[in-house]
Amino acid sequence: MVSAAAAAARYASAVSQSLKETGEAAPGRASSGGFGQALEEALSETLRSAKEADAKAMQALTGSANITEVVTAVARAELALQTTVAIRDRVIQAYQEVMRMPI
């Protein structure tokens, strides 16, 4: 089973690769603004929380992190990923509704 952090990292890698191929700005960089940039920033924040959770988990393995910090970081990353997936699902649903509209 894939952890939330691993899934977020893979998703980020795919988004990064896609942005490189299309020539669009990477998350966190200044672009034209608007809804697209808000989504990029949200994804960037999700990735940051996943990386933080991974770092805390590694610190826990070495014995240098408090278990409470690890659990909190993992919970934040999981919540961020769930939020990102929910937003993605709503965007897809809205797109499908627009496609069903008669011309």
Q: How many CB atoms lie within 10 A of CB 5?
A: 22
pLDDT in tens, 43-101: 889 999 999 999 999 998 888 888 998 999 999 999 999 998 998 899 899 999 999 99
Residue extents of the structural domains in the chain:
4-100
Specify the higher pLDDT residue, 55 or 11.
55
What is the CA angle 91-80-36, rounded to 5?
Answer: 40
pTM over 0.75: no
pLDDT over 50 (residue 5):
yes
Main-chain phi, psi angles of 58, to 5 degrees: -65, -40
The CA-atom distances, in angstroms, between 77 and each of 26, 36, 45, 71, 73 are 21, 22, 9, 10, 6
- Per-residue pLDDT, 16: 67
Which pLDDT belongs to residue 37? 84
- Residues found in the chain: 103
Higher confidence at residue 78 or residue 40?
Answer: 78
Tell me, what's the pLDDT at 30?
A: 46
Among 75, 70, 43, 66, which Cα is nearest to 55's?
70
Q: What is the pLDDT of residue 89?
A: 92
